[in-house]
Structure 1
Amino acid sequence: MTGRTLYKVTFLTHGKVYELYARQVESGRLWGFVEVSELVFDVHEGLVVDPTEERLQGEFGNTRTLHLPMQSVLRVEEVEKKGQSAIRDAASGEVVTPFPLPARPR
């Protein structure tokens, strides 16, 4: 570990549960908001690419500070090392893939 604090932030938005990693989490200067900044993404130079991580980086890569309403934040954890970032369906808890899957037979 680099000696810098790392947080796993889990929040709900648009029917999905996002799990992101950040270096800084504070109660917001805007009343009722949590400020999440210095987002951490895996940088892969090889052929193996995590599509979820790539999707999150595409969505939040240029974000300086994420202002989340307090009621949308489900959990903030201080962690030793970065794990897998994820986007889950809020109802089922299943990981949402960035590419379409074939429909399941009923």
Structure 2
Amino acid sequence: MKALYKVTFFNAGKIYELYARQVSSSGLWGFTEVRDLVFDVHDGIVVDPTEERLRDEFGQTQALHLPMQSIVRIEEVERKGASAIRDAASGEKVVTPFPLPARPK
């Protein structure tokens, strides 16, 4: 079974949590290379908006070269959990599951 890593890092005031198959020292000094990003594939009606946003942003990425100081943690995990984008100050998820309907006035 191939290794799976949960990579948590800061980017633009947010904390990103992504899953990848390869993590190593980058050829660029001071960077960590993250390759083979893993995203959930949903063919049904239920869609995770955070996963969709991350796939839109990183889906075509061959390798991320993250500055070492932006990395919070790299964990080797047994299975993929939910990817997330959180506000760095509050820790709350940035993307909400569904918008709330407006109340009639």
Determine if the TM-score, normalized by the shorter chain, exceeds 0.5.
yes
Gap runs ≥5 in structure 2: none
**Residue correspondence of structure 1 range 24-39 to structure 2 within 5 A:** 24-39=22-37
**Residue correspondence of structure 1 range 12-91 to structure 2 within 5 A:** 12-91=10-89
Classify the secondary structure of the residue corresponding to 1:66.
Answer: strand
* 6-15 vs 91-100, greater mean Cα deviation: 91-100
Distance 1:74 1:56 in 2: 18
The 1:28–1:101 alpha-carbon spacing in structure 2 relative to 1, beyond 3 Å, is farther
- The match for 1:96 is 94
- The match for 1:4 is 2
Give the AA of the match of 1:26: S
Distance 2:28 2:47 in 1: 36
Distance 1:29 1:5 in 2: 21
TM value normalised by structure 1: 0.90
TM value normalised by structure 2: 0.91
Shift of 1:44: 0.1
Distance 1:95 1:74 in 2: 17
The size of the alignment, in residue pairs, is 100
Shift of 1:101: 7.0
Give the AA of the match of 2:92: E
Shift of 1:21: 0.0
Backbone CA RMSD of aligned residues: 1.5
Give the AA of the match of 1:44: H
- The share of aligned pairs that are identical, in percent, is 72
Gap runs ≥5 in structure 1: none
